[in-house]
Amino acid sequence: MVSHNKRLVAALAAVAAMGMGLAGCGSDTAGTDNGGSSDGGKVTITYMHRLPDSEGMTLVKDIVAKWNKEHPDIQVTATKFDGKASEMIKKLETDVKSGEAPDLAQVGYAELPEVFTKGMLQDVSQYADQYKDHYAAGPFSLAQVGGKTYGLPQDTGPLVYFYNKAEFDKLGITEVPQTESDFIEAAKKAAAAGKYIMSYQPDEAGNMISGLAGASGGWYKVDGDSWVVNTETDGSKATADFYQQLLDAKAVTTNPRWDPSFDASIKNGQLIGTVAAAWEAPLFITSSGGTGAGEWQVTQLGDWFGNAGKTGPDGGSAVAVLKSSKHPKEAMEFLDWFNTQVPDLVSQGLVPAATTEDAKTPSDWSNFFSKQDIMKEFKDANNNMGDFTYMPGFSAVVAKMNETAAKASDGSGKVADVFSEAQTTSVDTLKNLGLSVKE
C-alpha cells in the first residue's frame, strides 16, 4: 500500500505541477531558504531528498537532528520531496535559476548526467577527494561526470531475484533455474499451476530492463566528444527474447509495479518470484501484506539475459551539491557524515554505498526473507554489477521504453521494440540537447 500511495501522491504532485506550469512559476517556499545566511560563522545547509521516510524507519529529520546537535556551526534543514524524480528535477531546475535551490539534493545515478547537462551542479572535486575511501569505487564514479565530482554516492540498486522458496518446493522446482531455457520451462510449469515465477513490469521497464540488458555491457559510450549509442546489444536481444517467450507462453504477470494489481498478485499468492532492485526489499514486504512471510528468499540473477552471471543497476542515488550553494565545503562535510550513517540509511531501505561500516540486515527484513542475511546478497550483487553509463536526458528514454513495454504486454507490440525505440529516442534526445552523436 505504501508504494501505491506514493504513486498517488506523485500523481497529485504531477497535477499540482501542471497547475504551477500553467501559472508559469514553479518555486514554492517549502522551507528551502537560500543557505546563504551566515551570521556569526553559522552556516545553514538545506538538503532535499526523496527517501521513503515511512513508519518504522529512522526518519531523515531525526538523523539530521543528531548532526545539528553536534555541529552548532553547520545547521542542516532537510526537506522531503513528495513526487517523482522528474518532477523534483524540474523544481530544482527552476530553483537553481532563481537562486532558491537547496544546497544538497538527491539525484539518481541515471539522472545525474542530465542534471549536470542542465547546469544544476557544482564541481566539488576539491572537497570530495578526502572522502573518496569512504565509498565503493563504482558508486563514487557514478557521482562524477567527465572526471569531476559533483556529490557523494548514497545507495546502490543492484538487481536481484526475490522468490518464495516454499512455493517453489511445492511446484517441484527445487532450485532456481540458472539457464534461460530451464527458467522458461519452470515458468511454464508454474503457470500451469496458476503461479508465476517472473513479473514483467511495463512501468519499470526503462529502469529495470535497461539494467538487465546492461548487465552484459553498457549502451552509451563516449568517444572523444561524441556519444556512441547502441541500445540493441546482445544483452538487449537476450533480454527481449527472454521476456517475449514468457509473454507468449503467458507465463509471466504483466501488472505494472506501482499499480495496486501488483500488490494484489503477491497477496493472493500468484506471484512467487520476480526480479527486483535491492532497495525494493522493504517496499516488497509492504506490498506482500505478509503473504509468504518467512518463505521468501533473495538470490543472484541466473544467466537468463545473456548476462553470464552478472547483474545490472536499477536506481540508486547520489546526493549532489547544487550550483547555487554558497557553502559547498560545509555541505560536503555534512553529506559525508550523512551518507556514512549506515544503520540509519539501511532502515530507509537503502543499500548504502559507504564502506565505512558493515550494513546489517534489519530483523524485520530477515523475518520476511527466511532469516536470510539478504544484505550480504545485495552486497554480492553490488560487487558483480556490469558497467552502465547513463546519458544526459535518459529520463526521456525511460518514458519511451515504459510506454513501448506496455504495448508488448497486451500483445500489440514486441519486447524487442522497447530497445529499438530506446535507440531512436536516445539519439534524438542527445541531438536535441545539442550534444554530438556518432552514428
Partner 1 sequence: MTATTQTAKTVVAKRAAKPKASDAAKRENRTGWAFMAPFGILFALVFILPIIWAIYSSFFRQVTVGGGAYGGGELVNKFVGLQNFQYVVTSGNFWAGVGRVVIYTLVQVPIMIIGALVLAMLIDSYIVKHITAFRLSYFLPYAIPGVVASIIWVYLYNGQISPLVKMLAAIGIKVDFFADNVVLASMANITTWTFTGYNMLIFLAALQAIPHDLYEAARIDGANGFQIAMRIKLPNVRAAALLAMLLSIVGTIQLFNEPQVMAISDPSISKSYTPMMMALNTSQGTLTPGGDGPASAVAIVMALIAGVLAVVYTLVERKVNAE
Binding site for partner 1 (CB under 8 A): 7-8, 11-12, 14-15, 17-18, 21-25, 86-87, 89-90, 113-114, 116-119, 121, 123, 145-146, 202-203, 205, 222, 225-227, 255-256, 258-261, 264-265, 392-393, 395-396, 398-399, 402-403, 405-407, 409-410, 412, 425, 428-429, 432-436
Which of 319/406 has CB closer to partner 1? 406
Q: How far is the CB of 275 from partner 1 (least distance, A)?
A: 17
* β-pair partners for 385: 311
Half-sphere exposure of residue 384, counting CA atoms within 13 Å on the CB side? 19
Q: How far is the CB of 296 from partner 1 (least distance, A)?
A: 21
- The x, y and z cell numbers of residue 263, run together, are 500488490
Q: Are 192 and 343 in contact (CB under 8 A)?
A: no
Which of 94/384 has CB closer to partner 1? 94
- Which residues, at least 6 apart from 57, have a Cβ–Cβ distance to it below 8 Å? 282, 347, 348, 349
CA 393-396-398 angle, 5° bins: 110
Q: How far is the CB of 254 from partner 1 (least distance, A)?
A: 10
Which of 345/430 has CB closer to partner 1? 430
Q: How far is the CB of 97 from partner 1 (least distance, A)?
A: 10
Which of 66/221 has CB closer to partner 1? 221
Which of 117/356 has CB closer to partner 1? 117
Q: Which of 388, 392, 417 is nearest to 403 (CA)?
A: 417
Element (H, E) at 43: strand 43-49
Which of 23/55 has CB closer to partner 1? 23
Q: CA Rg, the chain, in Å? A: 21
Q: How far is the CB of 353 from partner 1 (least distance, A)?
A: 22
Which of 25/137 has CB closer to partner 1? 25
Q: Sign of torsion, CA 295 298 303 306?
A: positive
- The x, y and z cell numbers of residue 1, run together, are 500500500
Which of 57/276 has CB closer to partner 1? 276
Taking the C-alpha atoms of residue 43 and residue 123, their distance in angstroms, rounded to an integer, is 20
* β-pair partners for 45: 76
Which of 15/308 has CB closer to partner 1? 15
Which of 67/150 has CB closer to partner 1? 150
* β-pair partners for 253: 199
DSSP structure string for 325-388: -S-HHHHHHHHHHHHT-HHHHHHTT-EESB-SS-----HHHHHHTTT--HHHHHHHHHTTBPP-
CA 270 to chain centre: 25
Q: How far is the CB of 393 from partner 1 (least distance, A)?
A: 7
- Kindly provide the b/e burial profile for residues 85-111, where b requires at least 16 CB atoms within 10 angstroms of the residue's own CB: bbbbbbbbebbbbeebbbbbbbbbbbb
Q: How far is the CB of 315 from partner 1 (least distance, A)?
A: 17
Q: How far is the CB of 416 from partner 1 (least distance, A)?
A: 16
Q: Are 158 and 278 in contact (CB under 8 A)?
A: yes
Q: How far is the CB of 387 from partner 1 (least distance, A)?
A: 16
Q: How far is the CB of 284 from partner 1 (least distance, A)?
A: 18
Q: What are the backbone angles phi and psi of residue 113, rounded to the nearest 5°? A: -60, -40
In 209-323, DSSP assigns E strands to 220-223, 226-229, 273-277, 296-299, 317-321
